[in-house]
Amino acid sequence: MRNKSHESAKVKVCFGFLDKTGRSFSSVVKELHPELLLPVCMFYLILRGLDTIEDDTSIPLETKEPLLRDFKNYLEQDGWTFTGNRPEEKDRQLLVQFDNVIAEFKNMKPVYQAIIKDVTDKMGNGMADFARKAAFGDAAVNTVEEYDLYCWHVAGVVGEGLTRLFVEAGLGEATLINHFHLYKSMGLLLQKNNIIRDVREDHDDGRRFWPKEIWSKHVDNFEDLFEPENLELALTCSSEMVLNALGHVNNCLSYLVGLREQSVFNFCAIPQSMAMATLDLCFRNPNLFKRNIKITKGDAFQLMVESSQDLGKVCEVFCRYVHRIQQKNNPKDPSFLKISTACEQIQRFAEALAPQSIEFANSKTKKKPFVAGEGRVQHQADVNEEIWSTAGQVFVILVVISILVVGAAWLMEARFDLA
């Protein structure tokens, strides 16, 4: 947890930028174990700086490409800053005062510096590859394989870096670093969630991340998705995009099993729960193609509370939203059976991790009285006791988080990804 009284002026500047650029991410970072608080803050700001260069379409390729590929080296240059972003670039000031980030980066343990520098190198080169591709007239993502590769470069490598930090700090199981598919899925689920949700905003900005391999099954041209007469085609396209994202859910739950410390668990679980809620919001929602949509501030705060408990509660949250997706699944949708199967697989996997919590979640989602199965809770009185126990835990956590996270009501005003 952050202790302002022990911070230098430069550290305070860095946390100020975390608040401005991280928004929802900021409040979770500042609750991390002291060993990881500053390293994760620096990691985020460094990648945000890299992303601010990549996002700026006013920077020509001959300037942008070497900046992205060499960004890792600037971390060693005292006083380095960048003033070449267009004035309206939202995080421009971070790079204008990037010397503060570099100073604190160089004060960290060498092993943390090495991890962050390595991931910055991977992300910078991946971004440069896509920037070069776009500059030569191929800005679209064509295949699902390309889609996964883009998401890996801008978010999956973040999962790798965080995992290495967790393990190095002794706050995650050492074996996590050997499970590439798990930390890859942690990043890809978040990034795909954002790409699905922001399709209208990205389209208006001239960007396109939905892979042609998917949207071309439904419409002839990507722009057709936004025509009112093509609404049903657009909805079936978006449901296939959600189906693709659901393929990462079980890996994310498996990853959470390997986290040893509560603040690290919260740090990872809260964004994933919000991603599940957002996938549910996007699923077969006509407004997805009309404007930018997001979960309510109240839902976001509730998810912070629920996801700051344990794996059983997170499994319950995941299954709640999976059930909502199932309830909206349209039998006429070409992906109907695949979506049903994916949801059932997630439910079965979550039940294996936390069976009682999930059965209770299912009963609430279906709005039916909870009836325990054989071998579990046998009487409704026991269930009532469980409800009151859970309610008491939630109340206590709510009070604590309310004190620690003042102003969390606005936390979903922004994206919670890095890209």
267 flagged as catalytic: yes
Question: Which member of 44, 267, 301, 360 is catalytic?
Answer: 267
Q: 210-243: buried (b, 16+ CB within 10 Å) or exposed (e) per residue? A: bbbebbeebbeebeebbeeebeebbbbbbbbbbb
The widest CA-to-CA distance across the chain, in whole angstroms, is 70
Q: Interhelix angle for 297-306 vs 380-404, to 10°?
A: 110
- Hey, which residues does 259 pair with through a beta bridge? 172
CA angle 170, 176, 181 (to 5 degrees): 155
Question: Which member of 71, 147, 150, 166 is catalytic?
Answer: 150
Amino acid found at 147: Y
Question: Which member of 23, 92, 132, 207 is catalytic?
Answer: 207
Rounded distance, CA 300 to CA 409, Å?
A: 8
207 flagged as catalytic: yes
197 flagged as catalytic: yes
Residues 6+ apart with CB under 8 A from 102: 74, 75, 76, 77, 78, 79, 80
Rounded distance, CA 47 to CA 267, Å?
A: 17
Q: Do 292 and 201 touch, CB atoms closer than 8 A?
A: yes
Question: Which member of 2, 48, 197, 320 is catalytic?
Answer: 197
Rounded distance, CA 27 to CA 19, Å?
A: 8
Residues catalogued as catalytic: 150, 197, 207, 267
